[in-house]
Amino acid sequence: MKVGVIGSGYVGLVAGACLAESGNDVVCADIDEGKIARLNNGEVPIYEPGLDPLIERNLEAGRLTFTTDVAAAVKASHIIFIAVGTPPGEDGSADLQHVLAVARAIGQAMEDEKIVITKSTVPVGTARRVREAIEAETDHPVHVCSNPEFLKEGAAIDDFMKPDRVVIGVDSEYARGVLSALYEPFVRTGSPVMFMDVPAAEITKYAANAMLATRISFMNSIARLCEETGADVNAVRKGVGSDRRIGPSFLFPGVGYGGSCFPKDVKALVRTMREYSVDASILQSVEDVNQAQKRTLLERLVERLGEDLNGKTIAVWGLAFKPNTDDMREAPSLVTIEGLLDRGARVVAHDPVAMDEARHHLGARIECVDRNYDALDGAEALVIHTEWQPYRNPDFRRMRDAMSRPLILDGRNLYDPLDMASLGFDYVSIGRRPVLAVASGAARGAEAQVAS
């Protein structure tokens, strides 16, 4: 099939490369000339495991091309995905200016019947506005559908190639037939293609992300209760997650959610619900809990080291909002680091892939090191934000010897508190009582002193 993808950001690149991999002729269009030049040279501007070889392979096979000529991409394609950004406005609503600009460009370039699909995350009613924008520019027939993406950063290729489900809102039987054939190679193992009305598809995307965000904030609230009562949140998590009605996913306590999806999608859904006079208090609480949770590690560090951090070195492991991505949008690490800098601390940070993004967000205000252990030299504390694999089983003796004070604040519960105490660390985690170091060489089973 002839497929056009307008927008070569994260969603557009993954969708275009995966659709080309299944044998379609795909042209990705973007007005960013520098980005398109890099892509045509095989340089992928985002970090996503598996994406680079996928793009390289399909470029060489001629199934995937990149262009700045949006009109040409429209004319060459029968199916056109709109995959441009929808950043949040000041009021939390999704900014649709780029989506609607693409819709107008499609209408102006159309020479025959098209199927136009919103792949961007957009509020309910957007497909109707896209149709209006296209039909204002052309008399050619157009089918406007909604096909929200459910891609996890760090696992996007697998999510597209082997989806749990494909959600498509269609406006005609013709569009349903064409899109059923387009997605058939991806659902041969039995995952469903779920056809529904267009507004339902638009709401499904927001509802899914809001539900996952709710689980995270709920478990972080339970973690706070566990800390106050002396309960172990890991035991609670396992007890709750073993209920088949609930399941274990997205019940891990931490320092809050970030990234490009959950924060803006929760805000946008709150805004949409209020526009339709629907009570949004549950989701507003989800957002409020998350914002408070992002401040947790900073607050606990200040409790131990004081408000004045002048002259103190603080090490940070993990900058991206989650592993296997370089995305620092809305990352909890930014909240901690800004708070440390405001208090005069010297911040030395490491992340396996997000160092360039850190420089973009923070400039020269922090020091970035290539090896995680190098961040620890003379550090008064280590703050862990991201559960990268290299952080899970480090050389603790080397860490303790490098730090001026063996204090670890672990936002991802990577380590066992009693183990850390016996290794000589003061250790603070999420949803578990903090512990103080016991005498060097103490047995694993020794009772660690619980910190206040």
Residue 105 CB coordination number (10 Å): 21
DSSP 8-40: -SHHHHHHHHHHHHTT-EEEEE-S-HHHHHHHH
Q: Where are the alpha helices (DSSP H) in 230-308?
A: 233-241, 262-275, 281-294, 296-305
Give the rounded distance of the alpha carbon of 396 from its chain centre.
30
Among the listed residues 51, 46, 84, the one whose alpha carbon sits nearest the alpha carbon of residue 325: 46
Q: How far is CA 262 from CA 11, 27, 68, 125, 255, in A?
A: 15, 29, 30, 20, 14
Q: How far is CA 296 from CA 64, 224, 300, in A?
A: 45, 10, 6
Q: Tell me if residue 223 falls in helix, strand or coil.
A: helix
Please give the single-letter amino acid code of residue 346: R
Structure-block tokens of residue 105: 């460009």
Identify the DSSP state of 409: E
Question: Which of 18, 145, 261, 368 is an active site residue?
Answer: 261
Which residues does 9 contact at the CB level (< 8 Å), separation at least 6? 30, 46, 83, 84, 85
Among the listed residues 279, 330, 327, the one whose alpha carbon sits nearest the alpha carbon of residue 88: 330
Question: Annotated catalytic, 261?
Answer: yes
Task: Show which residues are catalytic.
Answer: 261
